[in-house]
Amino acid sequence: MSLCGSVSAVRLNSQSNTIRMGSVLAFRGGESMGHALRIPFKKRSSKGACPLQVVCIDYPRPELENTVNFLEAASLSASFRAAPRPTKPLKVIIAGAGLAGLSTAKYLADAGHKPLLLEARDVLGGKVAAWKDDDGDWYETGLHIFFGAYPNVQNLFGELGINDRLQWKEHSMIFAMPNKPGEFSRFDFPEVLPAPLNGIWAILKNNEMLTWPEKVKFAIGLLPAMLGGQPYVEAQDGLTVKEWMRKQGIPDRVTDNVFIAMSKALNFINPDELSMQCILIALNRFLQEKNGSKMAFLDGNPPERLCMPIVNHIESLGGEVWLNSRIKKIELNDDGTVKSFLLTNGNTIEGDAYVMAAPVDILKLLLPEDWREISYFKKLEKLVGVPVINVHIWFDRKLKNTYNHLLFSRSSYFVYQPFPLFANLQLLWLLSA
């Protein structure tokens, strides 16, 4: 699927930022399953006084603002706004309008600089991009969960005044039961307990996925991670998830039952390939913060609901965002520093500083010959992209007998997510392994 624009660079607000695609995988006339969704609505009165109103019941925003991580993120970002205005604002050229490039531009603008964000495609968001099909349905690059344990992202939503766009789900992790199709096993985090007791309670209360001896071995195995802090976590980078679990005496069944899904969800690869450091970073946050593992979904498509508010903010401070502006070459000065970005449309863009916020595969392709032997860039060789395929399935009626939540699959291939409340579609997150 190529979505690269071919028209010349335009300012974002002067063109539509969505494209229409032809056919999508869609099934019509499927059977509906089970009971009705809880969507109360007021019926139009016989006098016609009250228009039809749909109210979606959802879980309220949890208390996130009092965690150390959130406070640190909030204070760091506030420091950009509070810093003395630069006497000569820098023109900073940023490649890639995914969330990394957009937030870089946002915070540079907050600090008084003039970012110019260049996006190759005709849509904002990168891996959170979305497109509207001919029926007006949105389809997305993938499912996007916003965890409570994301201090910077949560702080960003607050700064943009769009906290209400996150729809919080009940505090549970729900796993499919491979041998019992249609049944799910839950880890429920009780509201009344602080972290890490709420997580420990959730694990102890689940009897379908883990036996008691497995729970005990799992808990003992996790102790060094809980007590060792960040230095311990970083030291585990040399071990895969599977190796680490075995070293801690945690049975393979725990790895298969819980960590295939977690490894897939975090990095799209299996426990025998993924560094344990990745899992421990997430687990530690989840165990330290009461609402760290609580999940929220955005209330609509990310380009409009999340990226555009960031663009509006950047532009209100004098920054710019250009779509259809693909960088073809990083041009260097004689001393090896960046001279300019050459775009595929022939334009040359010069700035005072340059930021690459494009995927690592792209950076590897664009890396100037002179930089390839620099040890920092040499490390890129080891980073390999993981192909991911998403399949969206549209049904012609509300789904029933299912959860409005992330459903972890325990197979090696699928993560599955129904969105019955706000989109009447079912999305199957197919991961190529």
Task: List residues near ligand FAD by CB under 6 A.
Answer: 95-101, 118-121, 126-128, 141-145, 326-327, 357-359, 362, 388, 390
Report CA-CA distances (Å) from 365 to 2, 140, 382: 18, 26, 14
What is the spatial distance between Cα 38 and Cα 55, in angstroms, rounded to a whole number?
Answer: 9
What is the spatial distance between Cα 259 and Cα 223, in angstroms, rounded to a whole number?
Answer: 17
Handedness of CA 406, 248, 203, 207 (dihedral sign): positive
What tokens appear for 364 in the block? 């590897």
What is the spatial distance between Cα 241 and Cα 48, in angstroms, rounded to a whole number?
Answer: 61
Nearest alpha-carbon partner for 92 in 115, 76, 109: 115
Nearest approach, Cβ of residue 144 and ligand FAD (Å) = 5
> Of the two residues 96 and 418, which places its CB atom closer to ligand FAD in the complex?
96
The answer to whether 331 touches 182, Cβ cutoff 8 Å, is no
Secondary structure of residue 378 in the 3-state scheme: helix
Nearest approach, Cβ of residue 361 and ligand FAD (Å) = 9
Which residues, including other chains, have CB under 8 Å from residue 406's CB and lie 6 or more apart?
143, 145, 169, 173, 174, 295, 415, 417
Beta pairing, strands 138-140 & 130-133? antiparallel
* H or E segment to which residue 344 belongs: none
> Of the two residues 259 and 322, which places its CB atom closer to ligand FAD in the complex?
322
What letter does residue 368 receive in the DSSP assignment?
A: -
> Of the two residues 10 and 100, which places its CB atom closer to ligand FAD in the complex?
100
Q: What is the DSSP string of 133-161?
A: ETTS-EEESS--EEETT-HHHHHHHHHHT
Q: Name the CA radius of gyration of the chain, rounded.
A: 23
What is the spatial distance between Cα 6 and Cα 94, in angstroms, rounded to a whole number?
Answer: 20
**Phi, psi at residue 94, to the nearest 5°?**
-120, 130
Peptide bond into 196 cis (omega under 30): yes
